[in-house]
Amino acid sequence: MQNNITIELMSNNKTKLSLEIDGKIISVEFDHIDVDLDDYFQALKTLLVGATFTESQFEHWIIDEAEVIGEYLQNNK
């Protein structure tokens, strides 16, 4: 079974993010199309926590990724 994440800009000026995993679909819908990065990030969290991860797992992943990005930026000044 294939898992998919989709972003749909709907004709009614809405944005919909969906995650299909293990035969179920989890969606987050915004009532506008100019979604900012913070909204996308919160939507991603909602999708992943709704699918299988705990909030704690998600937050630890973010912290780990922030450290990797910080190291990259420090080494590439």
CA atoms within 13 A on the CB side of 10: 13
Residue 58 pLDDT > 70, yes or no? yes
Counting other chains too, the contacts that 36-44 makes at CB distance below 8 Å and 24 or more residues apart are 43/17, 44/17
Number of structural domains in the chain: 1
**Full-model pTM:** 0.75
Alpha helices of the chain — where are they, by DSSP H? 37-51, 55-75
Q: Which residues pair with 57 in a beta bridge?
A: none
Q: Express each pLDDT in 5-22 by its tens digit.
A: 788 888 788 999 999 988
| pLDDT value of residue 43 | 93
CB-CB contact of 6 with 21 (8 Å) = no
Q: Which residues form the domain of 50?
A: 4-75
- How sure is the predictor about 3, in pLDDT bands with cuts at 50, 70 and 90? confident
How many residues are listed for the chain in this entry?
Answer: 77
What is residue 33's predicted lDDT score, i.e. its pLDDT? Answer: 87
